[in-house]
Amino acid sequence: MCGIVGYVGKRDAYPILMKGLHRLEYRGYDSAGVALINSTGNLLVYKAKGKVSALEEAVKDKDLKGSIGIAHTRWATHGEPNQRNAHPHYSETEQLAIIHNGIIENYATLKQGLKQQGYTFRSDTDTEVLVQLIEYLKVKDNLDLPTAVQLALNQVVGAYAIAVLDKSCPDLIVAARKSSPLVVGLGQDEYFLASDATPIVEYTDKVIYLDDGDIALLDRKKGVRIRTLSNIEKTPEIKRLELTLSQIEKGGYDHFMLKEIFEQPDMLRICMSGRVNVELNNVTIAGFIDNKERFVNAKRIIITACGTSWHAGLIAMYAIEEFAHIPVEVEYSSEFRYRKPVINEGDVVIAISQSGETADTLAAIELAKSKGAFIFGICNVVGASIPRTAHSGCYTHVGPEIGVASTKAFTAQVTVLTMLALMIGREKGTITEEKYLSIVSELSRVPENIRSILKQNDIIKEVASHFTKVNNFIYLGRGYNFPIANEGALKLKEISYIHAEGYPAAEMKHGPIALISEQMPVVVVAPRCGTYEKIISNIQEIKARKGKVIAVVTEGDVEVSKLADYTITIPETEECVTPILSVVPLQLLAYHIAVMKGCNVDQPRNLAKSVTVE
């Protein structure tokens, strides 16, 4: 949430900052702003309500010269999204400017104290309080900027990634992080700062991922130095970026979401490469092999995640319980962290997160860790906070996911979790060899099977065209495909703003059936598997009440197709693999409905890709 970019070097900062903000816009897009120190030493701040393009429009005729600057795209927490609350925020004397991602929880107390010292406030934000505090400490004790930032942060409770400019230090950006990501890019006599590596990738592949409690000094003349909140100098670990520029561009597609749906075959092949081996008849994930005793001896597995990643966790519950015979609990991270969960040493906690930065999931991990659980992280973004906090884990390796609605990351999470279930099952001897081999073979066929589903894009688009005017949708599924009903409904509501609910098909009788009428479209995920006969009865119940049925069925299906108004097919596969296929038509259905409704699918209102506040 909120995107941060910074640049200090020899080039004009403004174009670099704007390009960076566009890349980070997926993190929030309520308002945007930029601060530059120009050649005459003025600290200029420009901001605008709305997207980054609104800022660019607003500053067209302004002085944008300067080779040091910071910029921000906002997802509002404190204070409504308007120009006044947009970042950067000046300090009282306009000597300093700050951008911030996160929440300063004790801002009200700090604000009170600063008001008593005569400070006035122009915005409703917690962020302005921090910049005022930095200035207050700096002036009071005649401190340099890094020391003032350090002392101010020691008074702050909450989460932050910040960048600060000081008019009197035209070569220096001071940045710091706690529970919100920041990456520093190292160029030739130029330095970059960003919430993730996407704004940096075209300038350098050398980066430093800041740790919690790090303060970074990006100095045009002295290079980059890192110290801690307790003022101890650190030797930073320089990492090489794996990201490429083409991965973060649309590549001819209208939207990132469509690109990401269509690249699932290739990305899942990469995700499985070196892991699923049909010739050797096995599945390996290094993070599992190194810790297999933990899994094999686990009395219980707790899966914690948010949003779409939570749905992947639900599917894993079915697979792990079926093949590894270990009880699984799937928890929303936000609930888990605040109840009093019983966690025992020896419990295995699997944390799933595309971004690896979700604040609630990070907090859930910390809680479980403090109680002695072993944490296995499944993440997509390399070097993010969750993989660095977990004891072990694995990456999904599907490249950057930029569309706010998660697609390829989800299918990859389910793929990796299915592998994990197979590996535990084989180690424990709770899965038959025949079943294991059949699933390995079906996993290896996932890319070609998704490719064949994507060929129905036009059919799905046609189905979508019948539903652009409806206000509600129900999604039903059973067993492994019940979480897919939830996921399909989530996709639709996220990007088309149509109210949609996912339900286990049999539960329909206990409530949702009351909603069914000619006006109610019902998506039924009904591949041929264990509960097939049961779901046919559920469809009959819908048809008896004149509901419109859109069914996702197995190729060659006759029975459901006869009853449904529209059918979309998926290839036959092992039951535990069906969710990886059946979700794809639902991604496309949501996408086409949203596009036909004129919605911005990549940046839906009120949402952000990476939720770094709780």
Single out the residue of 204, 361, 418, 573 in contact with ligand G6P (rule: CB under 6 A): 361
DSSP structural state of residue 575:
G
CB count in 10 Å sphere of residue 286: 12
Stretch near ligand G6P under the rule CB under 6 A, chosen from 160-168, 353-361, 558-566, 590-598: 353-361
Q: Is 58 in the site for ligand G6P (CB under 6 A)?
A: no
Q: Is 334 in the site for ligand G6P (CB under 6 A)?
A: no
Stretch near ligand G6P under the rule CB under 6 A, chosen from 280-288, 342-350, 354-362, 531-539: 354-362
Number of residues that bind ligand G6P (CB under 6 A): 16
Single out the residue of 308, 385, 496, 538 in contact with ligand G6P (rule: CB under 6 A): 308
Distance CA 95, CA 112 (A): 21
Q: How far is the CB of 196 from ligand G6P (least distance, A)?
A: 11
Strand-pair partners of 69: 7, 36
CB count in 10 Å sphere of residue 186: 19
Q: Is 180 in the site for ligand G6P (CB under 6 A)?
A: no
Q: How far is the CB of 382 from ligand G6P (least distance, A)?
A: 13
Annotated catalytic residue within 49, 51, 167, 609:
609
How big is the chain by its Cα radius of gyration, in Å?
25
Q: Is 609 a catalytic residue?
A: yes
Please give the torsion angle defined by the CA atoms of residues 595, 611, 74 and 43, in that order, rounded to the nearest 10 degrees. Answer: -140
Q: Is the CB of residue 527 less than 8 Å from the CB of residue 501?
A: no
Single out the residue of 234, 430, 607, 614 in contact with ligand G6P (rule: CB under 6 A): 607
Q: How far is the CB of 496 from ligand G6P (least distance, A)?
A: 15
Closer by beta carbon to ligand G6P, 220 or else 491: 491
Q: Can you state the angle between helices 307-324 and 408-428, rounded to 10 degrees?
A: 20
Annotated catalytic residue within 2, 169, 529, 599:
2
Residues in contact with 378: Cβ distance below 8 Å, sequence separation at least 6, in sequence order: 350, 351, 352, 353, 393, 394, 395, 396, 413, 416, 417
Q: Is 197 in the site for ligand G6P (CB under 6 A)?
A: no
Q: Is the CB of residue 522 less than 8 Å from the CB of residue 529?
A: no
- DSSP H or E stretch at residue 308: helix 307-324
Judged by DSSP in three states, 350 sits in: strand
> What are φ and ψ of residue 458, in 5° steps?
-65, -40
Q: How far is CA 378 from the centre of its chain?
A: 12
Single out the residue of 182, 421, 586, 611 in contact with ligand G6P (rule: CB under 6 A): 611
**Per CB under 6 A, which of residues 394..433 are in contact with ligand G6P?**
404-406
Closer by beta carbon to ligand G6P, 131 or else 381: 381
Q: How far is the CB of 408 from ligand G6P (least distance, A)?
A: 11
Residues in contact with 232: Cβ distance below 8 Å, sequence separation at least 6, in sequence order: none
Q: Is 355 in the site for ligand G6P (CB under 6 A)?
A: yes
Q: Is 23 in the site for ligand G6P (CB under 6 A)?
A: no
Q: How far is the CB of 249 from ligand G6P (least distance, A)?
A: 20
Stretch near ligand G6P under the rule CB under 6 A, chosen from 257-265, 349-357, 521-529, 574-582: 349-357
Name the residue type at position 324. A
Single out the residue of 49, 177, 491, 609 in contact with ligand G6P (rule: CB under 6 A): 609
Strands (E), 307-398: 328-332, 348-353, 374-379, 392-395
Distance CA 438, CA 425 (A): 14
Distance CA 100, CA 596 (A): 36
Stretch near ligand G6P under the rule CB under 6 A, chosen from 142-150, 540-548, 585-593, 604-612: 604-612
For the four alpha carbons of 58, 61, 62 and 67, in that order, the dihedral sign comes to positive
Q: Is 31 in the site for ligand G6P (CB under 6 A)?
A: no
Q: How far is the CB of 203 from ligand G6P (least distance, A)?
A: 25
Distance CA 144, CA 230 (A): 16
Q: Is 306 in the site for ligand G6P (CB under 6 A)?
A: yes
Closer by beta carbon to ligand G6P, 308 or else 389: 308
Closer by beta carbon to ligand G6P, 132 or else 309: 309
Q: Is 493 in the site for ligand G6P (CB under 6 A)?
A: no
Closer by beta carbon to ligand G6P, 307 or else 383: 307
List the one residue out of 190, 182, 244 whose CA is nearest residue 220: 190
Distance CA 173, CA 166 (A): 8
Q: Is 292 a catalytic residue?
A: no
Judged by DSSP in three states, 256 sits in: helix
The residues that touch ligand G6P, with contacts defined as CB under 6 A, are 306-309, 353-355, 358, 361, 404-406, 607, 609-611
Active site residues: 2, 609
